[in-house]
């Protein structure tokens, strides 16, 4: 009953968040994806038929597609599919699963590593982990301390850490530290996979920066990797415009990177309006749209703030439709237990959970702004996220450098005041 | 340290072989001689055979072997072993760099060789031995349409490569998927292993159902809203088998987000599960699905066929299977104008994927259905 298809026919669509509006249906094709994923699986994790691999990513993300399902099966491996949470019923669970099924490869995310690290070494050390040969990480840059813990405690200093940078769009690994190839350094992502050429671009001029010790936008230039996406579903224009026309001739990834003196790459994180929260890729615009659909909200801005465990968390600025004094009179906001502000914040959290999912809640905080305060924007109407990010992080000095591009600079002071007030209320 | 590896797992051979095939890179050829250890007595004969083959190739006019053309050799090489002299990271780095340089200079040949050696294609020999255009791309919109293309014209199938190819190699009885359930720490509760053969059998059943009951055609989109259970792999394989395009939606997305992704992908068929279990909590996925379908309906998009995996709580949710079965069959027949459900689906007493109907008809307020009434809705 097998239906043979052309290598260039679509295999699947996977939706991912971009910096603007609606999620994009990334289209992958059968032939190129198969070869790319099958071969990267083999090279990155040294697997052969019969090996047991454990990828902790959810199947709803590209990592689940490529290295939980297709990669292991294409190589005749045994893939462990774990239904639950990494810390349920306790923080030993992942290591116990490795022991139980004799996993050779563990492929997980820095956010998981950080959260398990926090629970203490004893949860790890009481397990054997003697079947493991390779540890892999994916999803966001792994910081030095998480890398060191993963290497020293989980791997007992003996196992290679395979860090991998790639995206929903690339289908499979692009930059990675192949096991036992060259020297390992904490936090260093590695070298390009075969058949691809990364480029570092100057964010201002768009010019390619050659040689070692350069930092900028991470892009790819031809030749393409076979697993690269072929289109955005039903929107070829968006495919061309959002990935290839920002800087002509390059696929611009949206991540930043640095190349060191050995020609190896360090990933510095997203440079666009996409937030990486617990390894979930969330577009700020998507959350802003969701918040703006709430009855209390006139306008919303969302930025990412650093978080110890999640990598980044969402922080929302919501400009209210009506004066908070007036809202206090509303029946639905009367409660003996909570203030109207608290009720609104809770309602906004629910809105995000309802419109997108619980993982998209602005757990970093929601700052309610009185009507008329406004949110700083450029004359062309773009949110001035640079300033908002600083305020969200707690920088209330008002010293934000050149603000000549901001159309409504007075709004910045009002937001700082609101944040100060909110901080006081919290204390 | 010395390590023996099968030739097929070390692509070093592939690289050097293509170079030597073109007879340009003599340095590389010498090195390959150092790397390769011939197996016992037949070695001399094989060397001669290979030399003969290479001679044959060199007779081909150079214009036919373009830079993107992969030079493919007979598979006799696969049985040999290579001695990797060292796993010293510096040595490995050197080897990586040589292979990397080759791969970016001849990407078409590099990938085609791997594609030919390691994967099944319906027209493997005709395509890879004759085709000049294994790879092309344009990243520059000023020079024409942006596109990427690999192996256009080669015919393949992902499910065949994931399952059948391994079964043919004798891995049919090996586990493909080990499912560790949320409560798996408690005496293996709900844990499950699927061998390659079992995974094929299950996914082929679903593939049959998708074709013959849900009327899914190659290229049609099937939405999968499934948690981390074996059925998600079964569904992906079933779609791949029949050339359907799966659209897996992360099962923590809300009804709104799910609806958006269903509508945007124009999917008419939905595969889901009743429940999701995580961290000791049970989440009623069927309610989210029902709500999403309602949102779709309001926006003018209708899901026409659904398959649901009834992973309901409790040990024996299907106490009255014969009666349920009769009801399902009757509902099916009615819905499909007298057509019978494909036999693979009528014989499933517990926990298997089955079609369901009608949830979206209910107001969301009425969706606090008990599990029993959910079953009744079948």
pTM above 0.95, yes or no: no
Contacts of B223 in chain A (CB under 8 A): none
Smallest Cα distance from A279 to chain B, Å: 13
Contact B257 A357 (CB under 8 A): yes
Helix (H) or strand (E) holding A175: strand A175-176
Query: Which residue among A3, A59, A78 sits closest to B228, beta carbon to beta carbon?
Result: A59
- On the question of pLDDT at A328 being above 80, the answer is no
Smallest Cα distance from A224 to chain B, Å: 7
Please give the pLDDT value at position B86.
Answer: 62
Is some CB atom of chain A closer than 8 A to the CB atom of B177?
A: yes
Residue in chain A closest to B224 (alpha carbons) equals A60
Interval A269-294: pLDDT, tens: 888 888 989 888 898 988 999 998 99
CA dist list (Å): B110 to A29, A211, B351: 19, 26, 45
Q: Could you tell me the pLDDT band of residue A257, with boundaries at 50, 70 and 90? A: very high
Interval B233-281: pLDDT, tens: 999 999 999 999 999 999 999 999 999 999 999 999 999 988 899 999 9
In chain A, the percentage of residues whose pLDDT exceeds 70 is 99
Distance of CA B125 to the CA centre of its chain: 22
Please give the pLDDT value at position B54.
Answer: 45
Residue in chain B closest to A26 (alpha carbons) equals B247
In chain B, the percentage of residues whose pLDDT exceeds 70 is 60
Please give the pLDDT value at position B14.
Answer: 37
Contact B146 A82 (CB under 8 A): no
Is some CB atom of chain A closer than 8 A to the CB atom of B139?
A: yes
DSSP A174: S
Contact B148 A224 (CB under 8 A): yes
Is some CB atom of chain A closer than 8 A to the CB atom of B342?
A: no
Nearest to A65 by CA among A93, A30, A19: A30
| Residue A282, strand partner residues | A275
- On the question of pLDDT at B11 being above 50, the answer is no
Tracing tokens 């699986």 back to the chain, one arrives at A41
Please give the pLDDT value at position A1.
Answer: 80
Please give the pLDDT value at position B133.
Answer: 67
Contacts of A49 in chain B (CB under 8 A): 166, 169, 171, 174
Please give the pLDDT value at position A341.
Answer: 86
Nearest to A224 by CA among B136, B69, B103: B136
- On the question of pLDDT at A153 being above 80, the answer is yes
Q: What is chain A's percent helix, strand, coil content, to nearest 5?
A: 30, 25, 45
B/e letters for A363-384, b = 16+ CB within 10 Å, e = fewer, are bbbbbbbeeebbbbbeeeeebb
Least confident of A418-422, B212-216, B240-244: B212-216
Contact A83 B180 (CB under 8 A): yes
Q: What is chain B's percent helix, strand, coil content, to nearest 5?
A: 50, 15, 35
Phi, psi of A207 (to 5 degrees): -80, 145
Q: Where are the beta strands (DSSP E) in A287-409?
A: 297-307, 311-320, 365-369
Please give the pLDDT value at position B34.
Answer: 33
Q: Check residues B164 and B353 and name the one with the higher pLDDT.
A: B164
Mean pLDDT on A334-359: 89
CA dist list (Å): B115 to A30, B125, B129: 12, 11, 12
Tracing tokens 């990592």 back to the chain, one arrives at A63
Smallest Cα distance from A307 to chain B, Å: 21
Smallest Cα distance from A342 to chain B, Å: 23
Residues in chain A: 427
In whole angstroms, give the CA distance from residue B307 to residue B287.
Answer: 15
Classified as helix, coil or strand, A328 is coil
Residue in chain B closest to A355 (alpha carbons) equals B256
- On the question of pLDDT at B200 being above 90, the answer is yes
Distance of CA A367 to the CA centre of its chain: 23
Please give the pLDDT value at position B353.
Answer: 52
Interval A356-376: pLDDT, tens: 999 999 999 999 998 888 899
Q: Check residues B199 and B65 and name the one with the higher pLDDT.
A: B199
Query: Which residue among A81, A191, A194 sits closest to B230, beta carbon to beta carbon?
Result: A81
Q: At what angle do helices A340-355 and B255-265 cross, to 10 degrees?
A: 30
CA dist list (Å): A28 to A314, A376, B191, B203, B264: 29, 39, 32, 21, 16
Q: Looking at this predicted complex, what is its ipTM?
A: 0.88
Is some CB atom of chain A closer than 8 A to the CB atom of B231?
A: no
Please give the pLDDT value at position B323.
Answer: 66
Q: Could you tell me the pLDDT band of residue B371, with boundaries at 50, 70 and 90? A: very low
B/e letters for A16-36, b = 16+ CB within 10 Å, e = fewer, are bbbeeebbbbbbbbbbbbbbb
């Amino acid at each position: 009953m097998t239906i043979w298809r052309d290598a260039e026919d679509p295999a699947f669509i996977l939706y991912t968040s971009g910096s603007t509006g609606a999620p994009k249906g990334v289209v992958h094709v059968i032939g190129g994806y198969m070869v790319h994923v099958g071969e990267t699986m083999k090279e990155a994790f040294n697997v052969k038929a019969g090996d047991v691999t454990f990828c902790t990513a959810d199947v709803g993300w590209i990592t689940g597609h490529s290295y939980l399902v297709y990669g292991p099966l294409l190589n005749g491996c045994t893939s462990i599919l774990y239904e639950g949470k990494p810390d349920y019923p306790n923080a030993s669970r992942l290591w116990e699963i490795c022991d139980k099924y004799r996993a050779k490869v563990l492929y997980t995310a820095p956010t998981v590593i950080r959260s398990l690290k926090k629970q203490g070494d004893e949860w790890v050390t009481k397990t054997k982990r003697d079947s493991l040969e390779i540890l892999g990480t994916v999803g966001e840059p792994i910081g030095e301390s998480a890398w060191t813990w993963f290497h020293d405690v989980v791997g007992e200093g003996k196992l290679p850490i395979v860090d991998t940078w790639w995206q929903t769009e690339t289908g499979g690994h692009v930059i990675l530290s192949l096991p036992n190839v060259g020297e390992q350094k904490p936090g260093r992502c590695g070298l390009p996979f075969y058949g691809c050429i990364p480029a570092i671009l100057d964010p201002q001029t768009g010019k390619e920066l050659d040689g070692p010790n350069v930092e900028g936008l991470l892009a790819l230039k031809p030749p393409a990797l076979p697993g690269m996406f072929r289109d955005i579903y039903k929107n070829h224009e968006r495919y061309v415009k959002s990935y290839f026309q920002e800087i002509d001739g390059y696929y611009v990834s949206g991540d930043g990177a640095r190349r060191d003196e050995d020609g190896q790459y360090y990933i510095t994180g997203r440079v666009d309006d996409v937030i990486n929260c617990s390894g979930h890729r969330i577009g700020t615009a998507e959350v802003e749209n969701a918040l703006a659909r709430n009855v209390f909200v006139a306008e919303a801005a969302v930025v990412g703030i650093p978080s110890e465990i999640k990598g980044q968390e969402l922080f929302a600025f919501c400009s209210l439709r009506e004066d908070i004094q007036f809202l206090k009179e509303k029946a639905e906001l009367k409660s003996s237990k909570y203030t109207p502000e608290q009720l609104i914040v809770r309602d906004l959290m629910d809105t995000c959970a309802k419109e997108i999912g619980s993982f998209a809640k602005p757990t970093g905080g929601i700052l309610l702004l009185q009507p008329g305060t406004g949110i700083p924007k450029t004359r062309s109407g773009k949110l001035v996220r640079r300033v908002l990010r600083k305020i969200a992080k707690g920088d209330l000095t008002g010293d934000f450098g050149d603000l000549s591009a901001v159309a409504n600079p007075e709004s910045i002071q009002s937001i700082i005041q609101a944040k100060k007030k909110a901080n006081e209320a919290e204390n | 340290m010395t390590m023996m590896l099968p030739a097929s797992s070390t692509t070093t051979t592939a690289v050097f072989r293509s170079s030597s095939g073109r007879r340009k890179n003599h340095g590389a050829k010498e090195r390959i001689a150092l790397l390769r250890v011939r197996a016992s007595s037949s070695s001399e004969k094989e060397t001669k055979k290979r030399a003969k083959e290479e001679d044959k190739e060199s007779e081909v006019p150079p214009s036919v072997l373009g830079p993107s053309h992969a030079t493919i050799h007979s598979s006799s090489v696969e049985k040999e072993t290579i001695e990797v002299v060292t796993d010293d990271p510096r040595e490995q780095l050197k080897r990586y760099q040589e292979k990397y340089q080759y791969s970016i200079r001849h990407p078409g040949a590099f990938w085609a060789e791997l594609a030919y050696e390691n994967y099944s294609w319906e027209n493997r020999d005709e395509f890879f031995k004759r085709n000049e255009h294994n790879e092309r791309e344009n990243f520059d919109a000023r020079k024409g349409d942006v596109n990427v293309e690999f192996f256009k014209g080669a015919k393949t199938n992902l499910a065949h490569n994931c399952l059948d190819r391994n079964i043919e190699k004798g891995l049919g009885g090996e586990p493909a998927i080990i499912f560790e359930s949320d409560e798996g720490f408690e005496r293996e509760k709900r844990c499950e292993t699927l061998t390659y053969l079992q995974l094929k059998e299950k996914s082929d059943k679903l593939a049959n159902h998708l074709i013959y009951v849900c009327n899914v055609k190659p290229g049609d989109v099937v939405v999968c809203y499934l948690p981390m259970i074996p059925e998600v792999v079964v569904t992906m394989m079933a779609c791949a088998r029949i050339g359907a395009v799966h659209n897996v939606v992360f099962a923590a997305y809300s009804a709104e987000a799910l609806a958006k992704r269903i509508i945007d992908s124009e999917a008419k068929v939905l595969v889901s599960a009743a429940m999701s279990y995580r961290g000791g909590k049970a989440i009623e996925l069927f309610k989210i699905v029902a709500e999403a379908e309602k949102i779709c309906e309001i926006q003018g998009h209708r899901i026409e066929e659904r398959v649901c995996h009834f992973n309901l709580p409790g040990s024996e949710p299907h106490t009255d299977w014969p009666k349920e079965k009769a009801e399902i069959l009757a509902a099916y027949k009615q819905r499909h104008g007298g057509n019978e459900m494909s036999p693979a689906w009528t014989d499933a007493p517990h926990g298997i994927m089955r079609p369901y109907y009608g949830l979206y008809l209910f107001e969301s307020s009425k969706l606090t259905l008990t599990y029993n009434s959910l079953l009744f809705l079948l």
